[in-house]
A and B are shown apart, each in its own frame.
Chain A
Amino acid sequence: MGERNGWREETRPDDEDLTDEEVRAAIEGLTDLDRQKLIVIERRYRAGTDFAESDLLQEAICSAFERQRRCPRDVSFVRTVSMMMRSIGGHRRNALARHDGFDAPIIAGKDGAIRTPADTLAAAGLDPEAAVMERERPDVVAAALSISSDDEDVQYVIMGIADGLKGGTELQAATGLSSNRVHYALRKIRKRLGSDPEGWLT
């Protein structure tokens, strides 16, 4: 499993993770703003799944309680729960995608257009393997760039992130944008992609 934002799924020594009591204390210590952020994040990662409202957050908290996933000490608890929701939501989305019909719409292709796997199969010259690959991993960067074609700031930020630049400072230096403009660009990306997360949050 890979590392995302300092959050890892792999096994770590116990002393690097919160104990049961610390998990409980961390949950009780959540502020109202933390709770609001978790609801915003839950809404994002619940998209494209069959989880009912709040079920994904409940599942993530259960994972923390039951130690199905690790709670690293060096990562804030809100981020850990967010990453759990991202992971659980992603697994559920993938599981559902395997059961989708061949006519289920997805975002695919460099133009970011919505197509079905059946369309993709025809476009790929009747190559089933290519169709499956495109269905499993659509070119989301190209799709993100195409839906932001009217906004250069957003395009610079997308390209910077896709190139591996992390944090506002690196992005500011590489794009020449101010901190506020980077923040606004990220919010635009979130809003535009968030409105159609199918095929994006894989």
Chain B
Amino acid sequence: MKHLRKQIVWLALGLAGIGLAGLTGCNKPASGNAVSGDIIKVGEFASLTGSEATFGQSSHQGTQMAVDDLNAVGGVLGKKIQLLTEDDQSQAGQPATVVRKLISRDGVVAILGEVASSRSLEAAPICQQNRIPMVSPASTNPKVTETGDCIFRACFIDPFQGTVMANFTRKTLKLQAVAVLSDVKSDYSLGLAKFFKEGFAADGGKIVVEQSYSAGDKDFNAQLTAIKAENPDGIFVPGYYTEVGLIALQARQLGITVPIFGGDGWESSSLVPIGGQALEGCYFSTHYSPEDTSPAVQDFVKRFRAQHQETPDAMAALGYDSAMILADAIKRAGSTDGTKVAAALAATKDFAGITGKITIDANRNASKPAVILTIKDGQFKYVETIAP
């Protein structure tokens, strides 16, 4: 009996200890720190490691460069910007944790992130609840901004991107019947596949077969064999670059020679290293091309190359633009109050971004042109621009 009592006492002490630690963590006053002295804290969450590592690393490099540029001319509202970056490891469940930490413990005034739509969707409700404006650099699934009036994006959305690819394949490549291979674990992939299918059918094309895979899969031979049996003119793969590379490799190994095409999930410096020769002559839609001759883009490309020894991709450019429109909104709002900044973001009009003129519409999305790139000799090459 004495043994049992001793156990109960220990258990109670233990629980009290945990409870105390938890309470002190939760109730730490947050609002005071955000604009203390002369810094404005902005949070960023990105997939710096994991299966979509290049997305996070690129967008972070772009965002950091924007923050450095802004601080070099005195910051915003006379205060320097401090960028607090957290890694969500390309894993579901992580964005919620890191964004909560950024908001409640670090007391940021706004959040920049993420590239992958699934992870933006995870963080958006938290930002909305806390009235912290969130600007996603590159999430294209429409549901992200539908979360609430504090959630914005600096890029176009998938209904547009889907039709861009549908029109391109139908009119320029003149494909009649295509197959669709989408990633069931990704909101982005499922959404883009849906919009592509609608656009392609509306243009008079036919979707002969649909197959799916899960992010993280390595073997796609089964799905590709089923696709090959239907003899399509092309395969639409609206997935992320690691799987796309493997899919292209395996498709060529199975003797499938038709072009494969996709969306901005292909935009990565790791795509060609993984897919190699198999990707020659394939196409994908994205947000910008470093070959754009406009002075703003060329200046950005030059400075980025000097700093990082590699050419900035669309994620880096969008990371830069998302930070810039946020800073511009804070300036116009004259304060870092969430609601005021959100209102200022919503009023963004014709902001000169690297990825084009950014005007935020009534749904908090940007209406921007898309760019089609192809892979030639192992490099991304510009094909054409499609206006909205």
Is the pairing of A and B real? no
Hey, which bits of chain B sit against chain A, CB under 8 A? none
